Amino acid sequence: MKKAGTIGLLLICLMSSVLGQTVERVDSTTINADSLTANIESLMHAANVSGLCIAVFNHNKVVYSKAFGLANVPDKTPLKTSMVYYAASYSKAVFAYIVMRLVDQKVIDLDQPLVSYLSKPLTDYAIAGPSGNYQDLKSDERYKKITARMCLDHTTGFPNWRFFEDDKKLKIKFEPGTHYSYSGEGLCLLQFVIEQTTSKTLETIARENVFEPLGMKNASYVWQTGFDGNVVSGHNPFGKPYNLHKRFHANAAGSLFTSFDDYLKFYTALINRQGLSESSFNEMFKPQIRIKARQQFGPEALVNTTDNDLIQLSYGLGYGLFTTPDGRAFFKEGHDDGWQHYSVCFRDKEIAVVMMSNSDNTESIFKPLLASSIGDNYTPWYWENYIPIGTQKARPGYAYYCPPCNNSCDTIAHQYSGICPVCKMQLVEEPIR
């Protein structure tokens, strides 16, 4: 990993000069850092967001990085970018990068059936930990077709998690490789096979391939005692902290803990193609499967639509993809109770944004945050279920106001997804003046 050692120093230098910085956006507009800060604070206030860390990249370098709000609301602990977050499905983003490094090292092949790496049938293993065993698959031999590629592009046929199923059993719901359906189970299967092949734990592999080379001292797939006293709390919509779930079994799909600063080290390496061959990087961000579902989860995940055909919504290896007049983009989200994260990179413009939040309310401001920070009006927010605040008529006695205009926009609020069509600012619901 040449140049990886300079990433930390580069981030520190860049993040220390946020004030007065001008941020370039994908639509060829710019925003002053002070204005962006004001926009973020206004949005967080409007949606009652507990805390948020956000970084913007121009020319694949951090030009704006800042923590807002509180790490713990009742304790009034200020949020810092150095504090440890539960990363939720950002775990999958790091794991995908690790897998592609192993592909480069010829440890694993993307298209070789995973069962071929095992010394005995998959269904004969007794597996400890959260991923569970695979005896449920004995009567369906389609599991023998599943490859690393299918795990990374979410086409294994597995459900997201077996415990969401009525009978709590793992099953294959469609022919592997034919349809997109987000699955943590698929990533856990790939993790198991890699651990068997290398005789190493995921944590060891991650340290060797990512954490140590990039200087990520506050990142781990298993809870570290050193995180105590420096951890962020996830909050419900009313600002009450959830109990922290410390994960002691590495899970490729969702056990990563990391500081925001450390995640930026990873993301900087990723978008600058460090640690990967050109062919592996290109394969990661090449469309593997088109996505036709109206939403990623819930009942509308079973409803096909043409809503996202214009952006050619697809999935690559570990990341979602879409195409826009402003170039190609890849994205990854993270979601759990109290945790809402999103990142998107417009690779042709070398412009990106990374967000990590400790509030159940943050997804309601992702749409305006993306528009304000980098001019992203393309992220498939409805597919992601990022329903913006202010999309309905105001309550009786209230109206929506645009802070810069200081004018009521209530009559058009619902038509513009809660965004002032003039200033592009989030409308705030306040008592009628």
Buried b (16+ CB within 10 A) or exposed e, 212-244: ebbbbebbbbbbeeebeeebbbbbeeebebbee
Pairing type for strands 84-86 and 219-220 reads unpaired
Residue 14: what residue type?
Answer: L
Whole-number pLDDT of residue 26? 97
Q: State how far Cα 347 lies from the chain centre.
A: 16
Whole-number pLDDT of residue 255? 97
Rounded-to-integer distance, Cα 244 and Cα 405, Å: 41
Helix (H) or strand (E) holding 28: none
Buried b (16+ CB within 10 A) or exposed e, 167-180: eeebbbeeebbebb
Rounded-to-integer distance, Cα 314 and Cα 308, Å: 9
> Could you identify the residue written with the tokens 């961000």?
285
Rounded-to-integer distance, Cα 281 and Cα 101, Å: 10
Token pair in block for residue 70 = 């509180």
- Work out the burial of residue 207: count CB atoms within 10 Å of its CB; fewer than 13 is exposed, 13-18 middle, 19 or more buried: middle
Rounded-to-integer distance, Cα 290 and Cα 305, Å: 12
Whole-number pLDDT of residue 416? 44
Residue among 223, 222, 243 at smallest CA distance from 233: 243
Whole-number pLDDT of residue 433? 73
Residue among 186, 236, 268 at smallest CA distance from 336: 236
Helix (H) or strand (E) holding 336: strand 327-336
Residues in a beta bridge with 304? 293
Torsion of CA 380, 382, 388, 393, to 10 degrees: 140
Whole-number pLDDT of residue 13? 46
Rounded-to-integer distance, Cα 282 and Cα 156, Å: 22
pLDDT block averages, 10 residues each, the chain of length 433: 50 47 95 96 93 98 98 98 98 98 98 97 80 87 98 97 91 97 97 97 98 98 96 95 95 97 98 98 98 93 95 98 97 98 98 98 95 97 87 67 63 49 62 76
Whole-number pLDDT of residue 407? 60
Q: How many CB atoms lie within 10 A of CB 166?
A: 5
pTM score, whole prediction: 0.87
